[in-house]
């Protein structure tokens, strides 16, 4: 398994899918993913305000004056966390595997013109999530341009 995401089309929408393997149990990984403080460290624009319940709200702020609210649409501890962010859907599922777990992260959206940039961004965010789960110091790598090139080739989209 490589760490690169894949792009799929489903029901007239686009889905970016990423998988990550953890040597930690799914309960511990789920706690990191859904902890408001951890969430705001790896998830773009998250403020740390989260009402962790089905129908609960997640606050976002782009830092440029736009604030918005996500709604938790799926919550099954410790297996599933999903929410709607404006018109996009984010779904994070965990499956026990060997001595750890597999995380499947999907982002469903309408406009594929941003697929390469979005994939590169999620790739970087999920790298930081892995660091947080492992208890490592957070280091954002300066690899956006390289990742955009890779995803452009993987998705066969010229932008």
pLDDT of residue 158: 47
Q: Are 21 and 107 in contact (CB under 8 A)?
A: no
pTM of the entire predicted model = 0.94
* Cβ burial 77-114 (10 Å sphere, 16+ → b, else e): ebbebbbbbeebbbbbbbeeeeebbbbebbbbbeebee
Summarised one tens digit per residue, pLDDT across range 100-155 is 999 999 999 999 899 999 999 999 999 999 999 999 999 999 999 999 999 999 99
Domain 6-155 classification at class level: alpha beta
Mean pLDDT of the 44-71 span: 95
Domain ranges of the chain: 6-155
Average pLDDT of every residue of the chain:
94
pLDDT band of residue 98 (cuts 50, 70, 90) is: confident
Question: In whole angstroms, what is the distance from residue 34 CA to residue 39 CA?
Answer: 6
Mean pLDDT of the 19-47 span: 96
DSSP 8-class letter at 120: H
pLDDT band of residue 1 (cuts 50, 70, 90) is: low
Mean pLDDT of the 73-89 span: 96
């Amino acid at each position: 398994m490589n760490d690169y995401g894949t792009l799929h089309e489903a029901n007239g929408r686009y889905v970016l899918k990423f998988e990550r393997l953890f040597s930690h149990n799914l309960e511990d990984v789920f706690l990191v993913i859904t902890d408001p403080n951890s969430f705001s460290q790896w998830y773009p624009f998250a403020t740390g305000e989260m009402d962790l319940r089905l129908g609960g709200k997640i606050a976002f702020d782009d830092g440029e004056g736009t604030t918005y609210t996500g709604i938790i649409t799926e919550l099954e501890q410790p297996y599933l966390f999903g929410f709607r962010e404006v018109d996009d859907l984010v779904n994070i599922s965990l499956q026990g595997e060997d001595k750890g777990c597999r995380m499947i992260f999907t982002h469903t959206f309408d406009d594929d013109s941003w697929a390469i940039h979005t994939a590169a961004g999620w790739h970087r965010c999920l790298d930081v999530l892995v660091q947080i789960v492992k208890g490592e110091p957070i280091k954002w790598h300066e690899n956006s341009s390289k990742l955009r090139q890779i995803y452009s080739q993987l998705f066969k989209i010229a932008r």
